[in-house]
Amino acid sequence: MPNLNDLKKEAKKEEEVFDPSTGETTPVASVDETVEYNGELKSTPKPIGLTVWDEIVNAGETIPNNMILCGLVGPEGVGKTGIVLDSMTDEEKKRGDVIFVLDFDGGGQTTRVTHHRENANNIRCLNPNVMFETLDADGETREAIDYPATHRRVMKIGQTLVDWAARPGDKPRLHSVLFTAVDLWDNVATNCMFIEDLGTAPDGIGAKIAPHQQIGMRFNWQIRSTRFHQLTTIARTLMSLGVRVYLETHFKDIQDKAGNITGKKAAWEKSTANYLNQILYFHKKKVRGEDGKTTGETRYEVEFVKCKTNPELLDQRRTIMVTKQNASPEWFGLPELREGHI
């Protein structure tokens, strides 16, 4: 059997192959491989890439410069999107770095237009939703989200972002990626399960009203979980390529068997927190005076609930904004993001 050097000598052409262990694209030799296609034997080039051992060796020589894969959890209007869009330094803005927002709820575009007009070109927002017209039970036309098409669009956008980060070429540097309202992405995954995987509903509206005798079966809900975590897989890949990644969601109520609200938790697939290196909770607190009455001042705070990369930040709080009656709001942002200390 010829060794690798013999095969390289027999190579008829070279192809460029991306090496994930180094982040570089290098010419890699290829040899002709005979395969059967539609009953005919055809010769196709087969690249000779890195062996697994080469990858293991290179992994020991490479130290990633970024480990930010961060969950942002809180109600509407508390600065979740704001701290991310404010996380670039002046030098990074001037260089043309880009924060990309996959904007499920429109919050990214709103924050960009309202607070970042002077550097709007550094922030790119895309609405992932695909709409289509369908008929209801009475034959009337209604417009709804095409959930399977939306899922495919999100996967295509994710693939494009990974390619951008891996092979930037003359493109601007991809600084950060923010997925807003991943609780809405969870809805996409759930509705795709009903519509495309189980075939129990014609569209998202039908998925809410049609009977689903099968959904109590655990393996069906695993379909939804698998679809959801295709996004977290993209997020982890982007992080490994040096991109800061943020998953933003809201709180949802925790209820006991009697329907009583006993607390709150993050509105994403239940195992999502396991994949994140940092989790920040956002709080809105009205300041009260010694008499117990509100003073008209409101503080917006960030709590470090999980921080594998800087344990000193655990359980600490930062004030990111203060509002007062009859006064302009004071924005502080989160310095740890700009300084890279998170």
Nearest to 270 by CA among 304, 213, 224: 224
Q: How confident is the model at residue 237 (pLDDT cuts 50, 70, 90)?
A: very high
Over range 174-196, report the average pLDDT: 92
Over range 235-243, report the average pLDDT: 95
Query: Where is average pLDDT lowest: 8-12, 223-227, 234-238, 265-269?
Result: 8-12
Query: Where is average pLDDT lowest: 32-36, 77-81, 273-277?
Result: 32-36
Q: How confident is the model at residue 97 (pLDDT cuts 50, 70, 90)?
A: very high
Supply the pLDDT for residue 241: 93
Supply the pLDDT for residue 193: 86
Are both 89 and 40 inside the same structural domain?
A: no
Supply the pLDDT for residue 41: 55
Supply the pLDDT for residue 13: 41
Are both 10 and 85 inside the same structural domain?
A: no
Are both 45 and 123 inside the same structural domain?
A: no
For 306, list phi and psi in degrees, rounded to 5. Answer: -145, 135
Supply the pLDDT for residue 281: 97
Pairing of strands 244-249, 69-73: parallel
Supply the pLDDT for residue 214: 47
Are both 50 and 127 inside the same structural domain?
A: no
Length of the chain: 342
Torsion sign over Cα 199, 205, 206, 208: positive
Which residue among 33, 61, 89 closes a domain?
Answer: 61
Are both 18 and 145 inside the same structural domain?
A: no
For 69, list phi and psi in degrees, rounded to 5. Answer: -135, 95
Supply the pLDDT for residue 25: 52
Q: How confident is the model at residue 238 (pLDDT cuts 50, 70, 90)?
A: very high
Which residue among 18, 33, 61 closes a domain?
Answer: 61
Are both 51 and 81 inside the same structural domain?
A: no
Q: How confident is the model at residue 57 (pLDDT cuts 50, 70, 90)?
A: confident
Indicate which CATH number applies to the domain containing 233.
Answer: 3.40.50
Q: How confident is the model at residue 196 (pLDDT cuts 50, 70, 90)?
A: confident
Supply the pLDDT for residue 46: 52
Are both 53 and 81 inside the same structural domain?
A: no
Asked if the model's pLDDT at residue 7 lies above 50, the reply is no
Supply the pLDDT for residue 341: 83
Let me know: does 331 contact 318? Beta carbons within 8 Å. no
Angle (CA) 25-28-34 rounded to 5° is 135
Query: pLDDT per residue over 69-82, tens digit each?
Result: 999 999 999 999 99
Which residue among 42, 61, 80 closes a domain?
Answer: 61
Beta strand segments in 171-231, E: 174-180
Are both 49 and 161 inside the same structural domain?
A: no
Nearest to 30 by CA among 13, 17, 9: 13
Query: Where is average pLDDT lowest: 53-57, 138-142, 300-304?
Result: 138-142
Are both 74 and 100 inside the same structural domain?
A: yes
pTM of the complete model:
0.79
Number of DSSP helices (H) and strands (E) in the chain, helices first:
10, 16
Mean pLDDT of the residues in the chain:
83
Asked if the model's pLDDT at residue 162 lies above 80, the reply is yes
Token pair of 157 as six digits: 């956008």
Asked if the model's pLDDT at residue 31 lies above 70, the reply is no
Are both 153 and 208 inside the same structural domain?
A: yes
Are both 27 and 79 inside the same structural domain?
A: no
Buried/exposed code over 228-267 (b: 16+ C-beta within 10 A; e: otherwise): bbebbebbbbbbbbbbbbbbbbbbeeeeeeeeeeeeeebb
Supply the pLDDT for residue 3: 47
Q: How confident is the model at residue 188 (pLDDT cuts 50, 70, 90)?
A: very high
| Domain coverage including residue 13 | 4-61
Over range 186-201, report the average pLDDT: 80
Domains: count for the chain: 2
Are both 193 and 331 inside the same structural domain?
A: yes
